[in-house]
């Protein structure tokens, strides 16, 4: 290693020279620069170090960098090599993105207004369904965490899943989720309590990254950075801001103005029952349909069943169980049993909202994901899965940007990368969002057993019956529509990896490889329609 030492005062030359000689004698040196007003460490893994004594300050050159106690630009540039990601919201989407960013060495901060809500929200709100696509993404991001999630959840894809009539209990359609997943080497569809899922993710990300009592209320951005402003007045700078703060997103409202979510006209009641039904070994997940209401029941393991009931009749907070039994008491015994076996204090109520699709999720250095970008009604069980997929597509684009070597301070490069992420997600999200709305709309005209007669609709019913035959010459036209939409979302969209990521991006998914082109393009008349 070469040493060049130039001093303005001869008396300092010998002392400084001896000091620096011992400091950098090793070919791989660590230099500690100390002055009366500053101290910092600089690791130099180079074969050339140039120390210059200039008045009272040292100037250190390691390769092409230089820094002094008056100008720390080289230290700042070294820190700038770590992409700084700010995430508003510590829900499922925010935590999955933070986990992926953490493993890549990015400087990531998550701002959550209330960690108790993250840990406790959704305790009885109904299970979250993790389809094969979402589980495969989690495997790629962190195999250990994915294993913990699958162990904490309950596999439902290894049994019968489908849609049935609420009154009779007869099946409209059954889904074979097991063979689809096994054929493609994907994890099998599971359900998990939201609280358990978020707790696993929070522990994996770490409380050093997730900041509690930190609600993002505003942000500012310029050509060099984006700054979030917290409710308590604190400011944090970053290169990218991701709004993952849910359907009531502050980031979204600051981007595009205040717009109220749309009430779906449905109210959801969810419950957790210590109950093991006799069909537990053969049925995993079932949707029961009725006029203006439906009921979803799922095994969640450990001797428990979770369910949620949606209907157009809002109930008072008091006496929820009694009123639900009045609404669903004439339904099949599977539904009535679950409600009866659920304690009153284990039943929660919430109104269902969503938003119209928007086709740009961000501006400049800011973007959105999950419910902040595209909140969906829960009837297809796709909201959480779409948020997880968003995280993977976004982290792919972030990786590409960092690999390109572009300066993080150049906002054009950041903006281009974020808009590319949004474009790549738009078709899939739009399809699932529309299907979720269509599924709810189909229930408002549900007709459970329409007998053929001589009325004006008889021809339509007869044609539909010919295309989709039902037992006993009876037909539930809207039930069939719901089932078809549900089937498309579960099968074609879950298996359709090429719809999500182009072929070179699939190389990262070694455990989840799918052939291209995907056969769903050829055998799915439902989606073509």
Residues 6+ apart with CB under 8 A from 13: 5, 7
- With b for 16 or more beta-carbon neighbours within 10 A and e for fewer, the 219-248 pattern comes to bebeeebbbbebeeeeebebbbbbbbbbbe
> What is the tally of structural domains in the chain?
3
Range of the domain at 22: 2-80
Tokens of 485: 């939409």
Alpha-carbon distance of 18 to 13, in angstroms, equals 9
The answer to whether 365 touches 415, Cβ cutoff 8 Å, is yes
Q: Are residues 481 and 520 in the same domain?
A: yes
1 DSSP assignment = -
Q: Are residues 298 and 199 in the same domain?
A: yes
DSSP H or E segment with residue 13: helix 10-24
Among 429, 462, 480, residue at a domain's last position = 429
The pLDDT value recorded for residue 436 is: 83
Among 373, 399, 429, residue at a domain's last position = 429
Q: Are residues 332 and 202 in the same domain?
A: yes
Q: Are residues 285 and 380 in the same domain?
A: yes
Number of H helices and number of E strands within the chain? 20, 24
Tokens 């970053």: give the residue: 238
The pLDDT value recorded for residue 120 is: 55
Alpha-carbon distance of 337 to 149, in angstroms, equals 29
The answer to whether 396 touches 501, Cβ cutoff 8 Å, is yes
| pTM of full prediction above 0.85 | no
Q: Are residues 419 and 442 in the same domain?
A: no
Q: Are residues 411 and 351 in the same domain?
A: yes
Alpha-carbon distance of 116 to 135, in angstroms, equals 25
Q: Are residues 52 and 124 in the same domain?
A: no
The pLDDT value recorded for residue 174 is: 86
Q: Are residues 386 and 452 in the same domain?
A: no
Among 429, 459, 486, residue at a domain's last position = 429
Q: What is the CATH number of the domain that holds 239?
A: 3.50.50.60
Alpha-carbon distance of 128 to 138, in angstroms, equals 15
Cα 231–Cα 237–Cα 242 angle in degrees, nearest 5: 75
For the chain, list residues with pLDDT below 50: 1-80, 122, 450-477, 479, 492-493, 495-504, 507-529
Alpha-carbon distance of 357 to 375, in angstroms, equals 9
Q: Are residues 139 and 66 in the same domain?
A: no
Q: Are residues 371 and 448 in the same domain?
A: no
Tokens 């984006």: give the residue: 226
Q: Are residues 14 and 95 in the same domain?
A: no
Alpha-carbon distance of 310 to 350, in angstroms, equals 10
Q: Are residues 231 and 137 in the same domain?
A: yes
Q: Which of 329, 267, 328, 271 is nearest to 300 (CA)?
A: 271
The pLDDT value recorded for residue 454 is: 47
Alpha-carbon distance of 290 to 212, in angstroms, equals 42
For the chain, how big is the Rg over CA atoms in Å? 29
Alpha-carbon distance of 470 to 475, in angstroms, equals 6
Identify any residues that bridge with 315 across adjacent strands, giving them in sequence order: none
Tokens 């929200």: give the residue: 121
The pLDDT value recorded for residue 127 is: 73
């Amino acid at each position: 290693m070469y040493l060049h030492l130039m001093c303005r005062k001869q008396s300092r030359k010998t002392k400084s020279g001896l000091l620096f000689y011992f400091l950098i004698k090793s070919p791989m040196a660590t230099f500690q620069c100390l002055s009366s007003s500053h101290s910092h460490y600089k690791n130099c893994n180079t074969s050339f170090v140039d120390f210059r004594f200039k008045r009272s300050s040292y100037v250190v050159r390691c390769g092409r960098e230089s820094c002094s106690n008056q100008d720390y630009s080289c230290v700042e540039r070294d820190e700038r090599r770590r992409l700084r990601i700010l995430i508003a919201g510590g829900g499922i989407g925010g935590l999955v993105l933070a986990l992926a960013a953490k493993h890549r060495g990015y400087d990531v901060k998550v701002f959550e207004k209330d960690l108790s809500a993250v840990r406790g929200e959704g305790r009885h709100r109904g299970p979250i369904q993790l389809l094969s696509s979402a589980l495969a993404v989690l495997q790629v991001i962190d195999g250990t965490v994915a294993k913990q999630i699958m162990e904490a959840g309950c596999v439902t894809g290894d049994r019968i899943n489908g849609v049935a009539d609420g009154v009779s209990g007869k099946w409209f359609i059954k889904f074979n989720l097991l063979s689809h997943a096994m054929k493609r080497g994907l994890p099998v569809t599971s359900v998990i309590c939201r609280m358990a899922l978020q707790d696993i993710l929070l522990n994996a990300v770490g409380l050093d990254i997730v900041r509690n009592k930190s609600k993002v209320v505003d942000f500012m951005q310029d050509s060099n950075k984006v700054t979030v402003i917290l409710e308590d007045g604190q400011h944090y700078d970053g290169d990218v801001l991701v709004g993952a703060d849910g359907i009531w997103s502050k980031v979204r409202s600051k981007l595009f103005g205040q717009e109220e979510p749309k009430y779906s006209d449905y109210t959801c009641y969810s419950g957790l029952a210590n109950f093991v039904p006799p069909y537990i070994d053969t049925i995993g997940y079932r949707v029961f349909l009725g006029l203006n209401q439906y009921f979803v029941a799922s095994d969640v393991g450990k001797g428990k069943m979770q369910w949620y009931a949606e209907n157009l009749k809002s109930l008072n907070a008091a006496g929820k169980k009694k009123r639900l039994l009045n609404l669903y008491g004439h339904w099949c015994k599977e539904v009535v049993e679950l409600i009866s076996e659920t304690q009153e204090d284990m039943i929660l109520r919430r109104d269902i909202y969503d938003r119209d699709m928007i086709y740009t999720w961000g501006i400049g250095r800011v973007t959105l994901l999950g419910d902040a970008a595209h909140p969906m009604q829960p009837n297809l069980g796709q909201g959480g899965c779409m948020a997880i997929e968003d995280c993977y597509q976004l982290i792919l684009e972030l990786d590409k940007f960092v690999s390109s070597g572009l300066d993080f301070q150049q906002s054009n490069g950041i903006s281009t990368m974020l808009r590319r992420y949004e474009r790549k997600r738009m078709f899939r999200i739009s399809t699932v969002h529309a299907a979720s709305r269509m599924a709810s709309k189909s229930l408002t005209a549900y007709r459970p057993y329409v007998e053929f007669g001589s009325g004006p609709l008889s021809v339509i019913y007869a044609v539909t019956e010919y295309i989709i035959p039902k037992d006993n010459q009876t037909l539930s036209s809207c039930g069939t529509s719901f089932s078809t939409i549900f089937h498309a979302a579960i099968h074609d969209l879950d298996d359709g990896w090429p719809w999500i990521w182009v072929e070179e991006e699939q190389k990262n998914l070694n455990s989840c490889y799918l052939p291209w082109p995907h056969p769903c393009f050829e055998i799915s008349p439902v989606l073509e329609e």
